[in-house]
Structure 1
Amino acid sequence: MSSNETTHQVASHKHSWLDVLTGAQMLFVAFGALVLVPLLTGLNPNVALFTAGFGTLLFQITTRGKVPVFLASSFAFIAPISYGVAQWGIPATLGGLVAAGFVFMFFSFLVKINGANVINAILPPVVTGPIIMVIGLSLAPVAVNMAMGSGLETHLPKYQLIIVSMASLVTTLIVAIWAKGFLKLVPIISGILVGYVLSCFLGLVDFKPVYDAPWFSLPDFTFPEFKWQAILYMIPIVIAPTIEHVGDIMAIGSVTGKDYTKEPGLQKTLLGDGLATSAAGFLGGPPCITYAEVIGAVTLTRNFKTRVMTWAAIWAIVMSFVGKVGAFLASIPSVVMGGIMVLLFGSIASVGVNILIKHKVDLSISRNMCITALVLVFGIGGMVFDFGSYVLQGISLCGIAAILLNLILPQHK
């Protein structure tokens, strides 16, 4: 064997191990958003880790390993999952999420048949902007109540609970705005860490479940039930994540210098999201789609290797079998999460406003004003259409109303 061949093998081996470590780093970046959704909605965080890893591998197979992204749940699903769990229970909600995955696949089919512009034709900014605003604003009371410690069993005075939640919030703000480099990518984890430490000093954390939890245990998979009410409720929710997905794919393409909407094609990436979301729902996890934190990490590190995301997926699956991980995450007091949710849900609403501004949606035009006004009032005001065996309300009602109004109302009126 020549010295050049030996050097090449050593370098290749070194880079392989570097990919393993970089994959762990990518999972760390994604970790805050990855576990926040199950913690806020009552789903199992260990299952969420498993389904995120498994969903990412499915996405890579579907896109032939050409897009360097890691999949986890969009914050847009927090409100629908929370409502679904309260209304129909976890299994029925999971059935709705399985159906949501098929909606992604349906959009994939439309793109394949008609081209990428079909998404914007069905879901223009005047539809998606107000819906995303409602997703954030409808949860504002939940965030504020959690930040004030409502429902938390403790003898601490209210002002101490608010100090904890505001410490989490302020830390998240500071890291998101002023941090540099890698730290800027983990504002949620930073906020949780500060709030958790402060909670420990105030005696809000019970470590016994963490001590009692086994090191190795199978994730507590939950399998879906299919109730048509939950399915019809969940289907319109896919509107916002679909737009988010298109933006994410274009963003990662601009970073890597490749047009992923053409190769492997937007139809393939949407199909990958759909398969991952349905698979996650079948196993008891939240939906798995592309999201911004990992794209930010790719932008910062300039690491465009898909196999790094493969290792991140493997790390997530391995961690899902560590019982103490889920127990530790469950020990985080709700007041800590409340502080972060104040910013999080406000950010979702801000994204909706930004869509209207970025695409120059003119609200002086009557049709645009009517669509936006009705969606906001229906969503925030709590409008309910009760058909007896089926109730249409919330984001589902807003989504259907916005799409129908956009199709029915004449243009330029």
Structure 2
Amino acid sequence: MSNQTVLDINDKPKGSQLITLSLQHMFAMFGSTILVPTLTGLSPAIALLTSGIATLFFLLITRFQVPAYLGSSFAFIAPILVATKAAGGPGGAMIGAMAVGIVYGIVSLLIWKTGYKWILRILPPIVVAPVIMVIGLALAGTAVDMAMNETLDNGTKVYHASYFVIALITLAAAIIVNNFVKGVVSTMPILIGLIVGYIAALISDQIAGTSFINFTAVTEAAWIASPDFLIPGIDYDFKVTSTLLLAMVPIVIVTISEHIGHQLVLGKVVHRNFIKSPGLHRSLLGDGFGTLISSLIGGPPKTTYGENIGVLVLTRVFSVWVIGGAAVFAVLLSFSGKLMALVSTIPTPVLGGVSILLFGIIASSGLRMLVENKIDFDHSRNLVIASVILILGIGGGKLLWENAFGIKGYDFAIEGMALAAIVGVLLNIILPGKAQPDLELLADEKKEQQLNKN
């Protein structure tokens, strides 16, 4: 154990310390966890509930060896919107998310039996990085629209300078926290941005006479209330279609790579090799099972969180007891009717302000992956793969086969980032030459080989 470590993975804090540390960790995840459902029309309460449940299952599946918290995945924002529109309701997104969880399970089984190197060959940085960029850039219009425009009941969009001012205040707060604030608060730019933007909207309502916030829902809400569950076969028809599957499943190309990256970084922080023990297959299965459980009751797909790693780095508290405590508090908080009603009153421009930063960071993360792995764009293979992925994904490419397979009325469609991801994988397999490997994984492998020799 490092001399800097305050609490190692299996160390149990004392009662009051456990409560304080767990609450601190939960609030670091809170803003991002509720932002995804807020942007996609799902229930923030269910998202919070399922993040807690998924985290507890993740800890169990990884044998309480990996101090990771599972929150709502931003990679699935656009796919959720597509699946919801295609099915005429959020049930479509839940069916797609169930399929995602099952795919995670299949991949984790294959990794358990055959090792993980094959998946790195299928998903090298030249494929994953441009797809990550597409995820952020494809949502750019949504973020800016929320930041500037009011959408009327008839669908007409009306520009308001007051919207943009509130969005810029929100954005500024998030940027300041992210760049200039120290300590645990620096891991909460989304949450702090939402709070500052909300306060700014309240002040605007009082001084300028705007009408950003209506507290009627909060006053009418009960202190304790059950989240709005979405149960298959009860709240929506369980009808699996290719449109739903193709909207959601291809995104695992990104989220699996993201998961591997998080496990590598997390392992370096806590001085463990999680790829080897408890094994990538276990942590990936934990992610997938969390997503499956979440989708069965109406929550968005789950993923390990960078915010979680940030808190671990700053506090040096690696205890799975603290992670578990944060999960329990998330479950309890999801039943707070007043708090969840308050979340529903967050003004659209406030969401737009944090989304500008968040979606931009997602896109920039893809760019950073290209730089860190020293991808050579003088190599025509790399140039072609990245170019095709970016244009198909951002341009909204669509492959439509009407009356597919001779079935009248059955349309087979795949579009946007899902199409871009699939085409990217195929190009990587088909084009001559060898993809550049992930340098971080390569360095870890060489280091381990050297240690074994010694």
- Compute the TM-score of the two structures, normalised by the length of structure 2: 0.85
Aligned partner letter, 1:285: G
Work out the CA distance in 1 between the residues paired with 2:188 and 2:258.
Answer: 20
Deviation sequence 1:98-142 (CA, Å, 0-9, x none):
111112222212221222222211100111011111111111111
| In 2: Cα distance, 1:371 partner to 1:13 partner | 48
- 1:197 corresponds to which letter in structure 2? I
Hey, what does 1:165 align to over in structure 2? 167
**Aligned partner (choices 198, 202, 208) of residue 216 of structure 2:** 208
CA distance in 2, matches of 1:336, 1:378: 30
Which protein has the bigger helix share?
1
Q: Does 1:403 align with 2:425?
A: yes
Listed one character per residue, the Cα deviations across residues 258-285 of structure 1 (whole Å, up to 9, x for unaligned) are 1111111111000000100011011100
Match of 1:7 in 2: none
Distance across 2 between alignment mates of 1:26 and 1:226 = 37
Q: Which runs of 5+ in 2 are unaligned?
A: 1-10, 206-211, 233-238, 403-410, 436-454
The residue type paired with residue 214 of structure 1 is A
- Could you say if the C-alpha distance between residues 150 and 115 of structure 1 is closer, same or farther in structure 2, counting changes exceeding 3 Å? same
Matched with 2:408 is none
- Measure how far apart 1:46 and its partner are: 0.6
Q: Distance in 1 between matches of 2:252 and 2:270?
A: 27
Matched, 1:191 2:193: yes
Please tell me whether residue 75 in structure 1 is matched to residue 74 in structure 2. yes
Partner of 1:150, secondary structure, is strand
**Partner residue, 1:38:** 37
1:172–1:191 CA contact under 8 A, matched in 2: yes
Equivalent-residue separation in structure 1 for 2:58 and 2:422 (angstroms): 28
Percent of pairs with identical residues: 40
Report matched runs for 1:7-406 at 5 Å. Answer: 15-88=14-87, 89-151=89-151, 158-203=160-205, 204-224=212-232, 225-388=239-402, 389-406=411-428
Shift of 1:366: 1.4
Alpha-carbon separation, structure 2, partners of 1:228 and 1:385: 12
TM-fit CA distance, 1:20: 2.2
The one-letter code sitting in structure 2 at the alignment partner of 1:118 is W
Q: Assess, with a 3 A threshold, how the Cα gap between structure 1 residues 259 and 364 changes in structure 2: closer, same or farther.
A: same
Whether the aligned pair in 2 keeps the contact of 1:129 and 1:352 (CA below 8 Å) is yes
Between the aligned partners of 1:125 and 1:13, the Cα distance in structure 2 is 38
Contact residue 37 and residue 75 of structure 1 kept, 8 A: yes
Is contact 2:148-2:159 (8 Å) kept?
A: no
Question: How far 1:150 sits from its partner (Å)?
Answer: 3.3
Q: Contact (CA 8 Å) 1:245, 1:291: kept in 2 or not?
A: no
> Would you say how many aligned residue pairs link Structure 1 and Structure 2?
402
How many Å separate the matches in 2 of 1:32 and 1:291?
12
User: 3-state SS of the aligned residue for 1:222?
Assistant: coil
Q: CA RMSD in A?
A: 1.9
Deviations 1:8-55 (CA, angstroms, capped at 9, x unpaired) = xxxx99713311221111100000111111101101011111100110
